[in-house]
Amino acid sequence: MGQRTRLVLSRMLQALPALAGVVIVSFALTRMLPGDPAVYFAGPAATEQSIAQIRVAMGLDLSLPMQFLHYARDLLMGDLGNSLSTGQPVLEELARRLPASLELTLTALLLSCAIALPLGVTAAVHQGSWIDHACRALVTAGVSLPTFFTGIALIYVFYYLLGWAPAPLGRLDFVYLSPPDVTGFYVVDALMAGDFETAGGAMRQLILPASTLALFTLAPIARMARAAMLEALSSDYIRTAKAAGLSQRKIVYFYAFQNAMLPVITTLGMVFSFTLGANVLVEKVFSWPGIGSYAVEALVVSDYAAVQGFVLAMAILFVALNLVIDIVYTLVDPRTRSTT
C-alpha cells in the first residue's frame, strides 16, 4: 500500500469522530432553539390538549437522551426525518436544493480563481507597481465588504439603475421552463439538452449572485497567491535558475508558480468552506432556492429535522472537500511521492 493510499484511508478514519461530534452538537443546539415546534405545527387556535398530543406524536415528550437515540437510529438507516414546515423528507429537500447551492458556489469559485490567481501572480512579479497596489486594494475591499451589502449594491446598480441584469428572483425567469434534471445545474442541464436559450437565461440569473460570492472569495485567494509567489521568487532555487540563464517566463510560470500552488490549493479548500457559509446570506438576497435559504427558514420555525439535516450535510461536504484537497495536494507536491 502506497503512501498516498494510506493518507486517504487515514483521513477517512479521522473524519468519523468529527462527523459523530457534528451529530451530537447539532442535536444539542437544535434543542436549545427558542420556540416549540409542536406549538407551531398545531397552529394559533390549538388547545393545550392538542399541543400535547402533537408533542407525543413528534416524540418531543421523551427525554433528551431517548430523543437522541431515536435520532441516531433513524440516521443510521438513512432517515433524516420530515421537515416540519414542508412535510417532506429532509433528505429529499436537501437533495433537491443542494445542486442550486453547489452551482452558485462553484461558479463563484471559478470566477474568483480566474481573476485572483493571475492578479496575485502578476502583483508578486511586479511588486510595488500599480498592479500590486490595485491587488492589495481589491483584497482589502473584498475582506471588508459583507456579502449581503455587495449583493444589494450589485442589484441596485445593474438591475435597478442600468437594467442589465434580470430580476433577482431565483435560478430561472418565469418565461423559461426548467431543463431536464440530469446534474441539477441549470446551465449544464440546459446545454446538455441543447436548449441554449434556457442556458443563457440561467446564466444571466447566476451572474449577480456568483459575482457577489466571487468578490468575497477573491480576496483570500489573491492574497495567498501573491504571498506564495513572493516567497517562491525569493527562494534559492529561483536565484539558481536565474544564474543559469533561464528565461523569466519559465522561471515564473514553471518553477515559482508550481511551488506557489501548494499553499493556494489549501486556501481554496478553506475558501470553499467559507463560501458555503456565505451562501446563506446571498441566497436570501437573491431568492436563490439553495440549502442556505432552506436552513434559515427552518431556524425561524425551530424545524429540528431540517436544521440537523442541513448541519450534517454541510459537515459531510466539508469532510469530503478536505479529503479531495489532501488527494490533490499529494498529487501536486513531489515530496509526498513514494514508490509502492
Identify the pLDDT of residue 251.
77
- Residue 336 confidence (pLDDT) above 60: no
Least Cα distance to 125 among 252, 241, 263 occurs for 252
Query: Which grid cell sits at 122?
Result: 502578476
DSSP H helices, the chain, are 3-31, 37-42, 48-58, 64-76, 90-125, 130-144, 147-154, 186-192, 196-233, 236-243, 248-250, 257-285, 291-300, 304-332
Residues in the chain, how many?
Answer: 340
* pLDDT above 50 for 339: no
Whole-number Cα distances in Å, 262 to 67, 176, 300: 45, 43, 41
- Sign of the alpha-carbon dihedral angle for 325, 187, 190, 192: negative
CA gyration radius for the chain? 24
**CATH topology (fold) of 97-300:** MetI-like fold (1.10.3720)
Instruction: Give CA–CA dist 162/182, Å, rounded.
Output: 35
pTM of this structure: 0.78
Q: What is the pLDDT of residue 209?
A: 92
- Residue closest to 218 by CA, chosen among 154, 156, 147: 147
Per the DSSP assignment, residues forming a β-bridge with 82 are 89
Residue closest to 285 by CA, chosen among 171, 148, 106: 148
For the chain, the straight-line distance linking the first and the last C-alpha, in angstroms and rounded, comes to 6
Separation of alpha carbons 230 and 196, rounded Å: 43
**Would the pLDDT of 2 be above 50?**
yes
Asked if the model's pLDDT at residue 332 lies above 70, the reply is: no
Percent of the chain with pLDDT over 70: 91
- Residue 89, strand partner residues: 82
Alpha helices in 32-63 (DSSP H): 37-42, 48-58
Please count the other Cβ atoms lying within 10 Å of the Cβ belonging to residue 9: 11
Q: Is 213 helix (H, G, I), strand (E, B) or coil?
A: helix
Q: Tens of pLDDT along 68-104? A: 888 888 888 878 878 877 778 888 888 888 899 889 9
Average pLDDT, the chain: 81
pLDDT in tens, 239-274: 787 777 777 777 777 777 777 777 887 788 778 877
Average pLDDT, stretch 117-139?
84
Nearest to 108 by CA among 296, 271, 292, 281: 271
Region 31-48 average pLDDT: 70
The span from the CA of 72 to the CA of 88, in Å, is 20
Grid coordinates representing 168 are 433577482
Question: Exposed, middle or buried: residue 306 (CB in 10 Å: 0-12, 13-18, 19+)?
Answer: buried
State how far the Cα of 238 lies from the Cα of 234, in Å rounded to an integer: 7
pLDDT of residue 43: 67
Confidence class for position 47, pLDDT limits 50, 70, 90: confident
pLDDT at 32 (0 to 100): 74
Cβ(108)–Cβ(326) under 8 Å? no
Nearest-angstrom CA–CA distance, 314 and 292: 10
Query: pLDDT digit string (tens) for 291-319?
Result: 888 888 887 777 778 888 888 888 888 77
DSSP 100-144: HHHHHHHHHHHHHHHHHHHHHHHHHHTTTSHHHHHHHHHHHHHHH
The per-residue pLDDT for 150 is 85
Cα 68 from chain centroid (whole Å): 28
Residue 340 predicted with pLDDT over 60: no
pLDDT 10s digits, 164-202: 888 888 888 888 888 888 888 999 999 998 889 999 989
Domain positions in the chain are 1-85+307-340, 97-300
- Could you give the CA distance from residue 288 to residue 179 in angstroms, rounded to a whole number? 17
